[in-house]
Amino acid sequence: MNSLTKKIMIYSLACTLQVGLGATLVEAASIRSDAPQQIVQLDHRGRESRQGEHDRRQHAEYARHEREMRRRDRESERDWYARRDREVYRHNRAMNDLEIFLVGVGIGAILR
């Protein structure tokens, strides 16, 4: 097969895929054109309250983590290191959950 024929086939396939993707995006964008200002105002208020909830939860987690990281009376060094490792792991998981919550808030605001 001629090299020119191969190139024409590949470029036509790429063009067809792009046209199909573009048509899908245009169709999806036309659905959201109904009253965009009202949607933005509702999302802004809802996002602020959820952002405030995220900030409260994050502050509480930092305070709890700080409390747990202090060494306790009559606690051996080995026990403290073991507890510290567990606490750091738990704290990292909690912070990841809060980040996921914030991403969900952002996605929810976009999809409304």
Per-residue pLDDT tens over the stretch 31-40 = 555 544 444 4
Cα atoms in the 13 Å half-sphere on the side-chain side of 3: 0
Q: Whole domain around residue 89: which residue ranges?
A: 35-111
pTM of this prediction exceeds 0.75: no
Q: Answer yes or no: do 17 and 70 share one domain.
A: no
Domain count, the chain: 2
Q: Answer yes or no: do 56 and 102 share one domain.
A: yes
**CB of 68 closer than 8 Å to CB of 87:** yes
The whole-number pLDDT of residue 29 equals 63
Q: Answer yes or no: do 29 and 41 share one domain.
A: no
Classify burial at 52, counting beta carbons within 10 Å of its beta carbon; exposed 0-12, middle 13-18, buried 19 or more. Answer: exposed
The whole-number pLDDT of residue 45 equals 59
Per-residue pLDDT tens over the stretch 59-80 = 999 999 999 888 888 889 999 8
